[in-house]
Structure 1
């Protein structure tokens, strides 16, 4: 039983221990939140700062800190002004009664004057320092005059002017730093000026500790060194040395004997920041080393052993400082890894919120699309109901007053109902003409046959108009559903693109930089955005290249060899002067390239052709070729075919799938007009990465692929654009190879010479006999052959587009690099 109990007790003890470990950070966080509430929101921090600034002085007897701090707090945290005023008076009490009187009087005068004239100023912040300057100068002048009881010397006036000037500058500084320490919610981003302002405020506060000591160790020395190594550990060498210089200058102004502290603090901040990789031990070693060196060779009056004890006390304070507080401080200092990580997390949060919103919009559009597409089922059971309404209108005018009503609609209901339905369908199919068969049936069954027939003809026109309107509404709903679905898919893809984080490529950037430098190419900066296969995106800053094409001829071939794929210059902005920089963007070249040639002619040699064509480069590495033939010839046909291609081009470039795009264009064309104006469409979309082609032919002529001596026919059957609102698109997929020639044409070319009976065989033979593979030459030769076969007369609009698919070979070949490193993981 003992072992069994132990087996149960031991896990329970471990669970309690883990629970206790989890509660420690939670309790510490609660304690931290309580301290923040007490010091920041309750104003205890401002009270302590006010006490220390009330007894702070510089140059023996100048006290420029009290009134600027009081004025800044009055403007930033007016509710905490009484606490600060009491703290300033309490601090001044530790020095002399005269200081208490001066601070009290200057505070009261400031409140009276500032509150009297505040309404005259639009911006209180801008005028506040000048109020402090004036009140300090006049108040100190009056106070010193009353103290001495005689006229003041030039020295005293200059000293008072210096104190007033410092008070004005300190007001500017305190206005920036107080909101950062007095509010619970602070800004995420601090400017360098704001960081310096906080340092000046903290150093000024520490001057209030001058004269304090514990076991003969100076409190101001311990706190100043602690402040320096704290910022050096959080922000690095630059921040540490800056804090050391600023703190040392303020301490030296307060006490000339502390002049050597500038060297000690600045050197400590520099060494501590350089050794911050060694954590707190490295920073502590930096402070001890700086203290030892300055103590041995400096001019300070403090014994070396005492100075080392003071530095040791500062190190002890650093060791007792929670790491979370140091990490939190580092987040506010620009240039630190913690700051960059915090900004990255903020950007990630913004990106996730954006992605969530885009996905929500995508789901909304998808739901709307489903809602519109489900309406089709609701129209099917309404057919009988519509006929019943139609029949009730007919019988109301004919059968209601007939003496045989009961015999027809009670005794022979089904027979009468079926006959009426058959007659209605017969009239509908025969263009309102009743066939003899149903005419005899109606006369045999009804004694008012002519009256029923006329009533049905009258009601049928309304019935047909109603049905046509409902059909248009139905097709409009379907168009909206398809468009909404397409938009939903595009927004979904966009959300995925946003969600992809930019990877950190510092190592790869250094490797590329070193390789290019070793090769003798001077590079200023390399920035990698993507190293994905087929989607490389690199930006470089290079010195003035004098327009010699260095990027295209040297750097792109080198990058091609380094990355193992063809890299080309996507964009280049060259400097206009010799000392400037060129900015170049490099990207992956597509595996295949398309070269096109076009031949075009209007009927009878006219200017305006009913055919339109377009070659479209889509953003997703695709190339589209389209030919549209409007019905007939002339301006109206040209407008129709051109409008078809314009709509198709815009929809395709938005990222919507090709089939949805074609259906959308067809629905728009069919719904916007009642005229019988239709157009054909021949569309080929080529994937430039894999050379896969998708063809969609809407009542267009066949296309041909020339592969050596072999000619492959590509065809599909669909009705013209706009003739039906609903049709299925047949997609033909073909795998192309390098060297293949795609020939697309309108019916004016395909029908060939007049004497040809089999147009397909004639066209294949002509294409096979071509000795050239140049797209433009093939287009011109076929056009010339067709026109000659028609005795030089152009019977119809003619358009032919020839495209050759080739491997994408860069102009400049790659340059092999020895010791090549793999950059793509």
Structure 2
């Protein structure tokens, strides 16, 4: 019993699923269109539009039966003559029977001809039965022409509505087709009224207004013409109404860039003005009432509906959505490839890490090989070979094995040879020498093996860093800039209104609140910069404070470029100086400071080991890599690990450098420091207090496993960030003043110019060393100011 019930429930669910797949939102839309089109009577009772619509719909299995039922119901409820209704029922049924063959027809022209071959014989037979007059035969011919034309036009609209999600933009013929489908569907409402209100007039108003709001004046007036023409064909109004509908659609659509309420107001006022100057307002009060009701309905429709219609039919003339769709597909494709690369590099790093070396100089396999070498070198020529290695093999092997085990603690001496082995072997000292010799070879191989293993670990770590960089790049692309063509167009128009002509504008949005505007223009005739004027105009339009970066803006170039971004709250200016030890031309200290993308500012000092050219090469290479990787927006941890691995792998000698990195967030006014064996960083506040950031980390290039020493500090207006190399600090430490001498010196320093501050620090350091530079010295001072 229970089993039977379960089977029935399963069948019920299966049928329910089939129904849900057949009856989706598009199915109901096509059924409503088919029902109304079949009720739309044109001239002398002919109503072939439902037939023409069903002709293309029957090609799709999903919609064939539901739309057939809807068109059949509309035909039966059209209150037409019985013979005409019977004719259309026969034609519809014939199309349904031939639908399998019709489905194979791909050309729209051939499909339209099939409609003619079905309707024309049926119409001729119907005329012959009822009233075989010349006029009726002409009407039959006209009906077949209407079927041919309607089937041809409707096919574009139906095809678009079925698969519009894959369309980049709507075509003109598709716009016309959808407009005609909608218009004649409205005509199918007929004389239906609610409390005297004409549903046809209300729906016509709604259709024209939505078209005008979404598509503008051109689409609004075109839909007005189509509605007016359909009304004339349907004998609903006089010919003058086609012009009124077109005029009202034109005026309403002219305001679509402002807001929809002005569109509605323009449409309603157009009708009132025309009525006032023609037949009068009193005689058209019912028509005005219907128009006002339709306008009121459009005014309360949600804004999301218009956006959905616009995105569905893709009628937006600026093609922004199409471009963004293309960008998103490109980003997704790129991200997919980057993710595959990231996984491949991760797997490669894992492979390197899995390769393990032996944990001891001589393992079990090496022991057998070493004993075999001893036997080959010494025992093969011995007269006791047969006794030792054949008669007493196990005992001989065990004695040599026990002796070799003592080699793990170092060289084997004569005293370390077991007494039993001395009694059994004729040349124990020679065996000892050979064992010591081969042990040294095994130890040397073990040392190289350990170095190779360390190198593999470094390479694996670097490959993993590359994998992380690729992952970061993928995430950056995912959240990267997207073109906003609407804002580009509006900014261009805004600049033109202020008589500023530019060659090109790019507006890129980054994340939620970030954006970047790049403007290419001809250089000003007088060589002056116009960035302030541009900032003022665009800031007023966007409602945001902007800052500008200028490229190539001088009188010697024809074009220049200005990049506008959200204004930063702080600015940073840096001064730096380096002095080399003992008068060397090349200084072992290197420094850099630069503005990074996304409102950040970087300062760094690197102190290479030693002095002269070698120290200079080490520090300059480190700074070069740091600049390029930071500018590429690679994470700080990956950058420093890469530099560390490079120094470890670059030479067999020990090479290391101290690294002092500071990054200022100019939007939030925060300083992040990363120190690797570097001296303290000092922050001199506006009230003369001095904060210092110290570190106990080792320099880069010493250990393969490093841990970053990060600190984060809040900056205020007028703060000074002082970064120094150890040559400055050691000036006091080596002269019994201590390494904190700079803190007290900065507290008592009464100057607010970075260059003057550097000079005083260097002069004091030289004074402490009696004007002798004992180590390379570098001082970098960065002043932070808040933008007023």
- Normalised-by-shorter TM-score class: 0.5 to 0.7
Q: Does 1:84 align with 2:112?
A: yes
The alpha-carbon distance between structure 1 residues 25 and 345, as it changes in their structure 2 partners (threshold 3 A), is farther
Q: Does 1:478 align with 2:438?
A: no
Pairwise mapping of residues 458-473 of structure 1 onto structure 2 (< 5 A)? 458-473=441-456
- Report how far residue 465 of structure 1 moved: 2.9
Q: Distance in 2 between matches of 1:407 and 1:718?
A: 61
Question: What's the counterpart of residue 669 of structure 1?
Answer: 647
- Report how far residue 452 of structure 1 moved: 1.5
- Do 2:695 and 2:709's aligned partners in 1 also have CA atoms closer than 8 Å? no
Q: Does 1:451 align with 2:434?
A: yes
Q: Distance in 1 between matches of 2:192 and 2:635?
A: 82
Q: Does 1:263 align with 2:239?
A: no
- Report how far residue 745 of structure 1 moved: 1.7
Question: What's the counterpart of residue 407 of structure 2?
Answer: 423
Cα shift readout 1:236-292 (whole Å, capped 9, x = no counterpart) = 37333332246658999999x96523323224546887999xxx9x99999999889
- Do 2:389 and 2:396's aligned partners in 1 also have CA atoms closer than 8 Å? no
Q: Distance in 1 between matches of 2:275 and 2:781?
A: 83
Q: Distance in 1 between matches of 2:364 and 2:451?
A: 18
Q: Does 1:395 align with 2:383?
A: no
Pairwise mapping of residues 334-345 of structure 1 onto structure 2 (< 5 A)? none
- SS in structure 2 at match of 1:83: helix
Ranges in structure 1 where 5+ consecutive residues have no aligned partner: 1-15, 49-73, 106-169, 427-433, 814-825
Question: What's the counterpart of residue 697 of structure 1?
Answer: 676
Tell me which of 209, 212, 223 is aligned to 1:232: 209
- Do 1:372 and 1:480's aligned partners in 2 also have CA atoms closer than 8 Å? no
- Do 2:570 and 2:669's aligned partners in 1 also have CA atoms closer than 8 Å? yes
- Do 2:609 and 2:656's aligned partners in 1 also have CA atoms closer than 8 Å? yes
- Do 1:611 and 1:799's aligned partners in 2 also have CA atoms closer than 8 Å? yes
Tell me which of 364, 375, 395 is aligned to 2:343: 364
- Do 2:578 and 2:778's aligned partners in 1 also have CA atoms closer than 8 Å? yes
- Report how far residue 681 of structure 1 moved: 2.4
Tell me which of 644, 651, 659 is aligned to 2:637: 659
Cα shift readout 1:24-52 (whole Å, capped 9, x = no counterpart) = 99845374488699554546999x9xxxx
The alpha-carbon distance between structure 1 residues 659 and 97, as it changes in their structure 2 partners (threshold 3 A), is same
- SS in structure 2 at match of 1:760: coil
- Report how far residue 398 of structure 1 moved: 1.4
Tell me which of 645, 657, 663 is aligned to 1:680: 657
Question: What's the counterpart of residue 29 of structure 1?
Answer: 25
Q: Distance in 1 between matches of 2:514 and 2:354?
A: 46
- Do 2:681 and 2:724's aligned partners in 1 also have CA atoms closer than 8 Å? yes
Q: Distance in 1 between matches of 2:561 and 2:448?
A: 68
- Do 2:675 and 2:709's aligned partners in 1 also have CA atoms closer than 8 Å? yes
Question: What's the counterpart of residue 776 of structure 1?
Answer: 755
TM-score by length of 2: 0.59
Question: What's the counterpart of residue 479 of structure 2?
Answer: 497
Question: What's the counterpart of residue 743 of structure 1?
Answer: 723
Question: What's the counterpart of residue 578 of structure 2?
Answer: 599
- Report how far residue 664 of structure 1 moved: 1.8
Question: What's the counterpart of residue 711 of structure 2?
Answer: 733
- SS in structure 1 at match of 2:696: coil
- Report how far residue 443 of structure 1 moved: 7.5
- Do 2:224 and 2:249's aligned partners in 1 also have CA atoms closer than 8 Å? yes
Q: Distance in 2 between matches of 1:383 and 1:540?
A: 60
- SS in structure 2 at match of 1:263: helix
Tell me which of 371, 375, 388 is aligned to 2:354: 375
Q: Distance in 2 between matches of 1:287 and 1:386?
A: 97
Question: What's the counterpart of residue 128 of structure 2?
Answer: none
- SS in structure 1 at match of 2:363: helix
- Do 2:191 and 2:200's aligned partners in 1 also have CA atoms closer than 8 Å? no
- Report how far residue 671 of structure 1 moved: 1.9
- Do 1:627 and 1:682's aligned partners in 2 also have CA atoms closer than 8 Å? yes
Q: Distance in 2 between matches of 1:305 and 1:736?
A: 73
- Do 1:362 and 1:492's aligned partners in 2 also have CA atoms closer than 8 Å? no
Cα shift readout 1:284-304 (whole Å, capped 9, x = no counterpart) = 99999988976786599xxx8
Pairwise mapping of residues 271-310 of structure 1 onto structure 2 (< 5 A)? 298=278
Query: Which range is displaced more, 96-105 or 448-457?
Result: 96-105
The alpha-carbon distance between structure 1 residues 790 and 656, as it changes in their structure 2 partners (threshold 3 A), is same
- Do 2:183 and 2:204's aligned partners in 1 also have CA atoms closer than 8 Å? no
Q: Distance in 2 between matches of 1:587 and 1:784?
A: 41
- Report how far residue 668 of structure 1 moved: 2.1
CA RMSD of aligned residues (A): 7.0
Pairwise mapping of residues 34-45 of structure 1 onto structure 2 (< 5 A)? 39-40=55-56, 42=58
- Do 2:331 and 2:478's aligned partners in 1 also have CA atoms closer than 8 Å? no
Cα shift readout 1:86-140 (whole Å, capped 9, x = no counterpart) = 43567788779799999999xxxxxxxxxxxxxxxxxxxxxxxxxxxxxxxxxxx
Tell me which of 584, 589, 595 is aligned to 1:611: 589
- SS in structure 1 at match of 2:751: coil
Q: Distance in 1 between matches of 2:200 and 2:347?
A: 66
Cα shift readout 1:453-472 (whole Å, capped 9, x = no counterpart) = 22223343334333332332
The alpha-carbon distance between structure 1 residues 285 and 554, as it changes in their structure 2 partners (threshold 3 A), is closer
- Do 2:154 and 2:178's aligned partners in 1 also have CA atoms closer than 8 Å? yes
Q: Distance in 2 between matches of 1:693 and 1:215?
A: 76
- SS in structure 1 at match of 2:780: strand
Question: What's the counterpart of residue 440 of structure 1?
Answer: 415
The alpha-carbon distance between structure 1 residues 704 and 420, as it changes in their structure 2 partners (threshold 3 A), is farther
The alpha-carbon distance between structure 1 residues 746 and 206, as it changes in their structure 2 partners (threshold 3 A), is closer
The alpha-carbon distance between structure 1 residues 551 and 617, as it changes in their structure 2 partners (threshold 3 A), is same
Tell me which of 611, 618, 625 is aligned to 2:603: 625
Tell me which of 733, 739, 758 is aligned to 1:760: 739
The alpha-carbon distance between structure 1 residues 731 and 452, as it changes in their structure 2 partners (threshold 3 A), is same
- Report how far residue 628 of structure 1 moved: 2.5
Tell me which of 616, 619, 626 is aligned to 1:641: 619
- Do 1:604 and 1:793's aligned partners in 2 also have CA atoms closer than 8 Å? no
The alpha-carbon distance between structure 1 residues 419 and 480, as it changes in their structure 2 partners (threshold 3 A), is farther
Cα shift readout 1:294-352 (whole Å, capped 9, x = no counterpart) = 6786599xxx899979x99x99xx99xx9999998654556679x99987996898599
The alpha-carbon distance between structure 1 residues 439 and 685, as it changes in their structure 2 partners (threshold 3 A), is farther
Q: Distance in 2 between matches of 1:559 and 1:600?
A: 51
Q: Distance in 2 between matches of 1:706 and 1:229?
A: 69
Ranges in structure 2 where 5+ consecutive residues have no aligned partner: 1-11, 35-52, 69-101, 124-134, 380-384, 423-427, 555-559
- Report how far residue 395 of structure 1 moved: 0.8
- Do 1:611 and 1:628's aligned partners in 2 also have CA atoms closer than 8 Å? yes
How many residues are aligned here? 644
Q: Distance in 1 between matches of 2:329 and 2:782?
A: 46
The alpha-carbon distance between structure 1 residues 364 and 176, as it changes in their structure 2 partners (threshold 3 A), is farther
- Do 2:251 and 2:270's aligned partners in 1 also have CA atoms closer than 8 Å? yes
The alpha-carbon distance between structure 1 residues 203 and 706, as it changes in their structure 2 partners (threshold 3 A), is closer
Q: Distance in 2 between matches of 1:559 and 1:261?
A: 42
The alpha-carbon distance between structure 1 residues 233 and 744, as it changes in their structure 2 partners (threshold 3 A), is same
- SS in structure 2 at match of 1:639: helix
- Do 1:234 and 1:327's aligned partners in 2 also have CA atoms closer than 8 Å? no
- SS in structure 2 at match of 1:398: helix
- Do 1:604 and 1:795's aligned partners in 2 also have CA atoms closer than 8 Å? no
Q: Distance in 2 between matches of 1:215 and 1:704?
A: 87
- Do 2:157 and 2:177's aligned partners in 1 also have CA atoms closer than 8 Å? no
Question: What's the counterpart of residue 76 of structure 2?
Answer: none
Q: Distance in 1 between matches of 2:743 and 2:514?
A: 41
Question: What's the counterpart of residue 121 of structure 1?
Answer: none
The alpha-carbon distance between structure 1 residues 345 and 501, as it changes in their structure 2 partners (threshold 3 A), is closer
